[in-house]
Amino acid sequence: MTRSEWLTRFAALAEELCAACAQELSPSEFRAVDRTQAMLAHEDEGVVPYAPIGFIYQYRLQERRTKHLFGFSWLPIRSWKTVALFGMEEMWGSLYHTESRGVWCAVKDERVAQATRKVVERFAQEHGLNLDFALRAG
């Protein structure tokens, strides 16, 4: 897989998760934030230090929340709260690193746990990846 193929697949997964969570909690608004970054080599790995050797795909699924300052309805404060995190590592030099490490997902809000689990499990099965799913209080 090339970088662009995994990026498009994870973007599609993020959109599917947003739709599933929005259907679960109908009046809420969701978005997926891409936090993908380059994986850099260490000095002791026998390569040029800090050379890019892969990518760490990270996404945050966030829900729009509204609070009212001092309880006044005319002083709304809107913010994005992270309800789930998911991602994967891709190392270019290792053929089976991605499959062995697999996809990870951490859900911080129990209301979206079932919908998130179904979508991520299907994604992992379609691509032959291991799945590390955790429900964390947050």
Taking 70 as the pLDDT cut, the residues of the chain under it are 1-4, 45-46, 137-138
Predicted local confidence at residue 4, as pLDDT: 66
- Give domain limits for the chain: 1-94
For residue 41, the 8-state DSSP code is -
Q: How far apart are CA 102 and CA 31, in angstroms?
A: 23
Predicted local confidence at residue 138, as pLDDT: 59
99 contacts 130 by C-beta, under 8 angstroms: yes
Predicted local confidence at residue 7, as pLDDT: 84
108 contacts 89 by C-beta, under 8 angstroms: no
Predicted local confidence at residue 27, as pLDDT: 83
Predicted local confidence at residue 126, as pLDDT: 92
Helices (H), the chain: 3-24, 97-101, 113-127
Q: Kindly provide the residue ranges of all beta strands, DSSP E only, lying in 13-138, ordered along the sequence.
A: 30-34, 37-40, 52-68, 76-91, 103-107, 131-135
Predicted local confidence at residue 80, as pLDDT: 93
Predicted local confidence at residue 107, as pLDDT: 93
Predicted local confidence at residue 26, as pLDDT: 79
